[in-house]
């Protein structure tokens, strides 16, 4: 089922989840355990993140240094297939612009369709730390709105090459929104205009970057509606787990943490996990009472604190 169909048919609060493929060389067993833990909560859908290749330097046994380029977290398509077909849970595959050609994107979308997956999240992605050489006969999407346009075109049978009697690929398309603006945007107003371009290109819903202050989400939704964006806007939530995350989260995700939360954790660092769960539960309660279309948890494979919170709303 498509994400927007889940939202339309919901008779109570929906809770969706986002997980990350294991590092290269690790077993899929850890991911299976995460999904098995989430399955009793009857998730309407689970997102699986995608990652482009990265360059790093490796010291060999003989002492020489070798430059390597590889994908540190492969497996997005395979994991989506397992969740969709073994667990019968609808899956949202993340699809990136940067690091991938349009031809690679089309191949991935065809494979997802073969697996019975109907939902994708179209993202620009982080800038890779290497410049991928694109062959002259290949093309790229520069922005998420371009990627949305390519995916939407497939619903009309518009493949990169003219194909005889090509079947359309109909995906429900999600995109990212930033209540505290994307870090590259000059201001929130211009960032919302960029978001509107993604919606105008064919996006069906928006899921936000994580935030810890619900007022920022409410204001963001209000500004989006004023800008003519009328698709569902799903709030993204993360549980703070440790005092170290007071620095890591703002630095890595370009967001602010409320002073009340920071003070509580700094004064009681040994209880950071419990404080984070309590703060998240309060956020979720307010969001649910406000009638949000769903609450999306950034699990990042730390699943047990999320389970405790969601069960309190069942």
- Reported as a single tens digit per residue, the pLDDT across 128-173 is 545 556 666 678 899 999 999 999 999 988 898 877 777 899 999 9
Count of domains in the chain? 1
29 is in which domain, residue-wise?
A: 3-311
Find the mean pLDDT for residues 87-105. 94
238 or 58, which is more confident? 238
Q: Residues of the chain with pLDDT > 90: what percent?
A: 75
Give burial (CB, 10 Å; 0-12/13-18/19+) of 27.
exposed
Task: CATH number of the domain at 239, please.
Answer: 3.20.20.220
Q: Cα(48)–Cα(80) distance, rounded to whole angstroms?
A: 7
In tens, the pLDDT along 42-69 reads 999 999 999 775 554 454 555 445 545 5
Least confident interval from 4-13, 79-88, 127-136: 127-136
pTM, full prediction: 0.91
Q: Does residue 5 register a pLDDT over 90?
A: yes
Q: How many residues does the chain have?
A: 314
């Amino acid at each position: 089922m498509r994400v927007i169909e889940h939202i339309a048919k919901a008779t109570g609060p929906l809770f969706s989840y986002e997980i990350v493929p294991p590092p290269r060389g690790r077993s899929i067993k850890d991911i299976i355990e995460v999904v098995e833990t989430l399955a009793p909560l009857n998730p309407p859908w689970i997102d699986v993140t995608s990652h482009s290749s990265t360059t790093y330097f490796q010291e060999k046994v003989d002492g020489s240094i070798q430059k390597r380029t590889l994908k540190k977290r492969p497996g997005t398509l395979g994991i989506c297939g397992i969740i969709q077909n073994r667990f019968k849970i609808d899956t949202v595959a993340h699809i990136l612009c940067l690091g991938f050609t349009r031809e690679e994107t089309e191949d991935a979308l065809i494979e997802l369709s073969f697996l019975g997956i109907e939902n994708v999240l179209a993202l620009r992605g982080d800038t890779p730390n290497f410049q991928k050489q694109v062959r002259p006969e290949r093309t790229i999407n520069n922005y998420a709105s371009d990627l949305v346009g390519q995916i939407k075109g497939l619903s009309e049978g518009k493949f990169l090459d003219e194909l005889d009697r090509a079947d359309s690929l109909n995906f429900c398309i999600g995109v990212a929104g930033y209540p505290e603006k994307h870090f590259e945007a000059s201001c929130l107003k211009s960032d919302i205009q960029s978001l509107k371009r993604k919606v105008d290109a064919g996006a069906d819903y928006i899921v936000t970057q994580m935030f810890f202050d619900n007022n920022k989400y409410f204001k963001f939704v209000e500004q989006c509606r004023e800008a003519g964006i009328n698709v569902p806007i799903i709030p993204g939530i993360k549980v703070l787990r440790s005092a170290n995350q007071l620095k890591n989260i703002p630095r890595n995700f370009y967001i602010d943490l409320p002073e009340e939360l920071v003070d509580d954790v700094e004064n009681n660092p040994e209880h950071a996990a419990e404080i984070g769960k309590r703060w998240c539960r309060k956020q979720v309660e307010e969001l649910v009472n406000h009638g949000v279309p769903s609450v999306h948890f950034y699990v990042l494979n730390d699943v047990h604190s999320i389970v405790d919170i969601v069960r309190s709303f069942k």
